[in-house]
Structure formats: structure tokens, C-alpha cells
Chain A
Amino acid sequence: MQIPGALGGPPVTHAAPLDLVAYACAAISACILLVYLVRRPLLTPIWRLWLLLGLGVFPIGLAGAGNVQGYEATKQRTFCGSCHVMVPHAQDSSDPKSLSLASRHGRNKLFGEENCYMCHADYGMYGTITTKIGGMHHVWAYLTEYRNVPIEESEKTIKLYEPYPNDNCMHCHSTDLDIWNRHPDHKASLDEVRSGKISCASGGCHGFAHPFTKPAEDVKKADDERRARQQDAGVDR
């Protein structure tokens, strides 16, 4: 597995323990199957046992380890950024100087290299499954619509299928806590935030998550409004 080095350095390649399990299962299974194919022995009880290991036990071990590794890999920012239309999003998230909402969350250790998944995953009992189904939808959309779209064009045309749910923000930023309600804007808009009428990631609130996808004038206007409101409220953030 490749993990980008710190501060944009060269990728660090190392094998996770589950990678080693997968490699071991694959190697043992492949050896058994190749010996069988070369020697073509009769199906004696001993060979039944060997083939049970080579066709059943070790491939199942490989599939289990591979699935877990694959699932973990799909949560990495580098995975999301491997489609060219997502490169600007991934680059902005990795940029230590960026002030976008996505980048600020990417610098949080809780989110780190998995910040795309952490913010865009659905919550609830079947959240992982619905997120993965959504991911397959993205792959299909990429193959059928966006594969040949230039990055500059994709930045302006790619949109979420549905408005970003505040529930995903509230998973960490609870609106029940005093610290949240201490902010006058929060207090005044509590119901609208909870019902999703006002988006936390709107220009007038905490800013756009990926501002480069919005028209420059919208971003500037939103920044000005936010600054003015913060000055009015006497909040210096």
C-alpha cells in the first residue's frame, strides 16, 4: 500500500499486516493449484484436502484480507483523487496553506488522509453500504460522463446529487452542546440548521468546502458577508 509522505514528500511504501496475510494466502494457494495443474494427479483423499485448501480455505482468507484492505483503501484521499476530476479537490485538501473547509478538516488528525470519506460518508446503520453504493454510482458517472472532461470544466459542472446534509457536520459538531449555542449565529439559526434549511458549508456560514468549484465572486461575497457578521457579533475567528 502507498501512503503519501509527510508534507508532500515521496510516497512511503510498506506492507500492512493484512497485506502480508493476503500475499501469504495467495502464494500458498497458487503453489497448490500450479502443482495440481502440472502433475494432474487422481482425486485421492489427500488431493481433495490439498484442493480444499487451494481452492477454498486460502482463497477465502485472501478475499477476506483483500476486502478489508480494499475497503480501507477506498477511504483514502489518494483513492478519491485517483480520478482526474477529483484531483483539485484532493490537492486542495492536502494543501497546508488552504483555508477551505475541506482542507481545514484534512489537517484535523481525526480526519487526516480519510477526510473525503469522513465528511461524505452516510451515517446510520447502513451508512457504509449506502456510501459504497453511492461510490459505484460515481464510478459509473465517471466512466460514462466525465472521463474525458477537462479538469477546468469539471470543477464547475460536478455537483453533489443532493445538498450536503448538515447531519454529517453534526456527527462531530453537536448542536446540543453549550459551546455550539454560545455563538449568536448558531443560536439564532438552530432550527434551520437542524432541518437543513441553512447549510453549515454555505458561503455565509463556514464557507464552501471546495471554494474553487464556485464562481470567484460568490466566494468573495460570502467571505465579506461572513467577516461583517463576525465583526457585528464581536467574534474574532
Chain B
Amino acid sequence: MNVAKLGPRAIARLLSVACISALAAIALMIWSVMDPRPFQVIMAMSIGQVLGTLSFGLFLFVVAADLLRTRRELLGAKKSDVTSA
């Protein structure tokens, strides 16, 4: 997959997934703080943290892809300016 080819819609969709998974992670972690029993603590420290890490990783991936795409567009625009001149 060429990350620089991710369009704005794909970026928005990936960011939505990251936000929803982060909200789920936050809910699990807050549940364990409010009611610290074995099941809740284990869920927060395993699934909660995995979801939180994945959502942050997804955000970083999307930002990197977006920056690459912007850079490519700028380079493309510069090239077309040079050829038209």
C-alpha cells in the first residue's frame, strides 16, 4: 500500500476508527479506576492499553501519510510549474 496515495476520505475514515477505539480504551481505563476489581483492572491493562496504543499508532500513520501526500502534491505542482515555464 502506498501511504502517500491515501485520499482525504480514507484519512478521515482512519481517524474516525482511531477516535472510536481511543474512546473505547478510555472507557475501559476509567471503569478500572472507578471500580478496581480483577476483571476491570485486567481489561484496562490489556485490551484498554492495546486499543489506546493502536489508536495512537493509527493517528501517527495517518499524519505521516497526510504529510507525504502534501509533499508529493507540492513537488508535483513545482514540476508542472517548471515544465510550463
Contacts and interface: CB of A to CB of B under 8 A. Distances in A.
Interface of A: 1, 19, 22-23, 26, 29-30, 33-34, 36-37, 40, 42-43, 48, 51-52, 54-56, 59-60, 62-63, 65-67, 69-70, 73-74, 76, 79, 82-83, 136, 139
Contacts of A73: 36, 41
B4 interface: no
Q: Is the interface of A mostly helix, strand, loop or mixed?
A: helix
B11 interface: yes
Interface in B43-66: 44-45, 48-49, 52, 55-56, 59, 62-63, 66
A139 B85 CA distance: 72
Chain B interface: which size bin? Answer: 20 to 34
A69 B33 contact: yes
B32 A66 contact: yes
Contact of A62 (B16, B26, B37, B45): B26
Given A42-B8, A59-B56, A67-B45, A37 B30 contact: no
Contacts, number: 96
Contact of B55 (A22, A55, A70): A55
Contacts of A51: 15, 18-19, 59
Contact of A40 (B16, B33, B38): B16
Given A23-B30, A33-B23, A59-B52, A43 B36 contact: no
Contact of B38 (A52, A60, A62, A79): A79
A166 B55 CA distance: 46
B29 A66 contact: yes
B29 A30 contact: no
Interface of B: 8, 11-12, 15-16, 18-20, 22-23, 25-26, 29-30, 32-33, 36-38, 41-42, 44-45, 48-49, 52, 55-56, 59, 62-63, 66
Nearest to A19: B33
Contacts of A56: 56, 59
A67 B45 CA distance: 7
A70 B22 contact: no
A1 B35 CA distance: 7
Contacts of B23: 30, 33-34
B30 A74 contact: no
A11 to B, nearest CB: 12
B11 A69 contact: no
A139 B42 CA distance: 9
Contact of A54 (B16, B22, B30, B62): B22
A26 B37 contact: no
Contact of B44 (A43, A60, A66): A66
6 contacts: A1-B33, A19-B33, A51-B59, A59-B55, A62-B30, A70-B45
